[in-house]
């Protein structure tokens, strides 16, 4: 597949062919339908000090605002089917610490990762999502998703404490 990656610790990015990802039992394979640019993508592209000093492992695929279609579902993942339209949150909580296990993965203090930096992101044909705690909602084929939208969804869900059709993974 084609992907936009950071391959070197300096300004710029590379658009090139990389192997298609393969999933483990706890992951979803998502075909990216739409991805949005964010200011923090510019920071990654320009290799701003906040990025350069974070010791991210290279290469990585950029992009953290996205939606797409589930193409493959890991054996241990529940609640998703091939063909579901999904979008993911930006942050990558550990999923194991007390904070995560008590419903607050958005403030996980255990070296929280970032999609498109510490794990491969959405500027690619396919992306892997890991079943975890952070909300993901179904979206249309053509939607664009931003962090702000997710924060709004998260806040309203936590405030209302209602069950919804929103489903959870990172
Ligand atoms: Zn963003
Ligand atoms: Zn955690």
Give the residue extent of every domain in the chain: 2-168
User: Does domain 2-168 match CATH 3.90.180.10?
Assistant: yes
Distance 89 CA to ligand 2 centre (A): 15
Distance 75 CA to ligand 1 centre (A): 30
Query: Using CA atoms, how far apart are residues 22 and 141, in angstroms rounded to an integer?
Result: 23
**Of 96, 103, 106, whose CA–CA distance to 26 is shortest?**
96
Q: Which ligand is the nearest neighbour of the Cα of 43?
A: 1
Distance 42 CA to ligand 1 centre (A): 10
Would you say residue 13 has pLDDT above 90?
Answer: yes
Helix (H) or strand (E) holding 44: helix 39-46
pLDDT tens sequence across 24-64: 998 899 999 888 888 999 999 999 999 999 999 999 999 99
State the average pLDDT for the chain: 81
Q: Can you give the pLDDT at residue 135?
A: 46
Q: Can you give the pLDDT at residue 144?
A: 46
Kindly report the pTM of this predicted structure: 0.78
Q: Can you give the pLDDT at residue 80?
A: 85
Q: Can you give the pLDDT at residue 164?
A: 43
Distance 102 CA to ligand 2 centre (A): 9
Q: Which of 15-24, 51-60, 71-80 has the lowest mean pLDDT?
A: 71-80
Q: Can you give the pLDDT at residue 159?
A: 55
């Amino acid at each position: 597949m084609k992907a936009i990656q950071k391959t070197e610790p300096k300004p710029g990015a590379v658009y090139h062919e990389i192997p298609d990802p393969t999933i483990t039992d706890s992951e979803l394979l998502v075909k990216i339908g739409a991805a949005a640019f964010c200011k923090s993508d510019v920071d990654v592209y320009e290799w701003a000090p906040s990025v350069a000093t974070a010791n991210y492992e290279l290469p990585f695929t950029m992009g953290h605002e996205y939606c797409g279609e589930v193409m493959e579902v890991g054996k241990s993942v529940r609640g998703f089917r091939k063909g579901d339209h999904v979008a993911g949150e930006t942050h990558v909580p550990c999923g194991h610490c007390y904070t995560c296990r008590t419903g607050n993965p958005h403030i996980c203090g255990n070296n929280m990762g970032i999609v498109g930096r510490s794990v491969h992101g959405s500027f690619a044909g396919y992306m892997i999502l890991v079943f975890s705690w952070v909300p993901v909602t179904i979206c249309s084929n053509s939607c664009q998703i931003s962090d702000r939208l997710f924060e709004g969804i998260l806040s309203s869900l936590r405030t209302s404490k209602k069950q919804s059709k929103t489903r959870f993974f990172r």
